Amino acid sequence: MPVRAGAVAAAVDDVAGLLAAHDDPLELADGLVRHCRDLLDAAHAGLLVQDVQGHLQLLASTGDTAEALELFQLETRQGPCVDCHRSGTPVQCPDAEQLRQRWPGLWPVAERRGVAAVHAQPLVVAGRTIGVLGLFRDREGPLEPVELAVARAMASLGAVGITQLERVAAGQRVQEQLQQALDSRVVLEQAKGVLAERHRVSPEEAFAQLRAAARSQRRRLHDVARDVVQGSPAQPR
């Protein structure tokens, strides 16, 4: 599916709006991976960022498949996203055979999840790689030049956005604020589980409820998720 200029403009506008209106790395990361998945015709997308020790951690994903593939790479220290972070350069694995040969441990997980191609784009700020955008496709084939350009632009926007958000908190280092966002993800996953069980919905639908509640209440996503986990009366429905 060709990349449409209007869709790219709308995605950039939305991510820029998140950056301008919220001091919330989690919501920015979620918006980034969702837009990249849709713009670049990927089945799934994930975002890895460095913690205070310089280790990659999962900050956002579009669903269970992206989460499983990203976490497997982190646990085994192998895969296109890990290699992308190490080199600071994009990594393309356009077909299943290359995926099997280059990362034999990752291949069975990808195959079970229906992933046939993986593309990783580094998030770079001032020459430093702070994370990786992972795109997982259910069909083989390389990214076209225009898709590569869009992936690079979105990754750059995400890198600058995350860095800017972390600098909002006066007196705190970028890495410290980012660590808080990574820690917040644990609470977010707990809240998603609570809502999914309570309302008999999927984790993605539960996350949509949390995000909608955060926006309508003009609160941080972490704070709304914490209220759900703690059983606060004011909870998303």
Q: How far apart are CA 61 and CA 32, in angstroms?
A: 10
State the architecture of 5-168 in CATH terms.
2-Layer Sandwich (3.30)
Q: What is the mean pLDDT of residues 15-25?
A: 67
- CATH 1.10.10.10 describes domain 181-230: yes
pLDDT on residue 165: 59
- How far apart CA 196 and CA 202 sit, in angstroms, is 6
Question: Maximum distance among all alpha carbons in the chain?
Answer: 52
pTM of the model: 0.72
Q: Which of 183, 192, 203 is nearest to 225 (CA)?
A: 192
| Mean pLDDT of all residues in 43-60 | 90
For residue 216, give both structure tokens.
């309508």
Give me the mean pLDDT over the 4-23 stretch.
71
Q: How confident is the model at residue 3 (pLDDT cuts 50, 70, 90)?
A: low
DSSP state of 161: H
182: number of CA atoms within 13 Å, CB side?
Answer: 19
| Dihedral angle over CA of 66, 68, 70, 74, nearest 10 | 170
Q: What is the C-alpha to C-alpha distance for residues 58 and 16, in angstroms, rounded to an integer?
A: 22
Q: How confident is the model at residue 170 (pLDDT cuts 50, 70, 90)?
A: very low
Parallel, antiparallel, or unpaired for β 117-125 and 128-137?
A: antiparallel
Q: And the tokens for 22?
A: 């919220």
Per-residue model confidence as pLDDT tens digits over 176-210: 666 777 777 888 889 999 998 888 899 888 888 89
Confidence at residue 166, expressed as pLDDT on a 0 to 100 scale: 55
Task: From 137, 154, 31, 131, select the one nearest 74 (Cα to Cα).
Answer: 131
For residue 222, the model assigns a pLDDT of 84
Question: Hey, where are the domains in the chain?
Answer: 5-168, 181-230
pLDDT score recorded for residue 152 = 93
**pLDDT category, 48, cuts 50, 70, 90?**
very high
Distance, in Å, from the CA atom of 218 to the CA atom of 69, rounded to the nearest integer, reads 32
Q: Do domains 5-168 and 181-230 have the same CATH topology?
A: no
- Pairwise CA distance, residues 116 & 111, whole Å: 7
Q: Read off the tokens for 170.
A: 């006066």
Residue from 129, 136, 178 nearest 155 by CA? 129
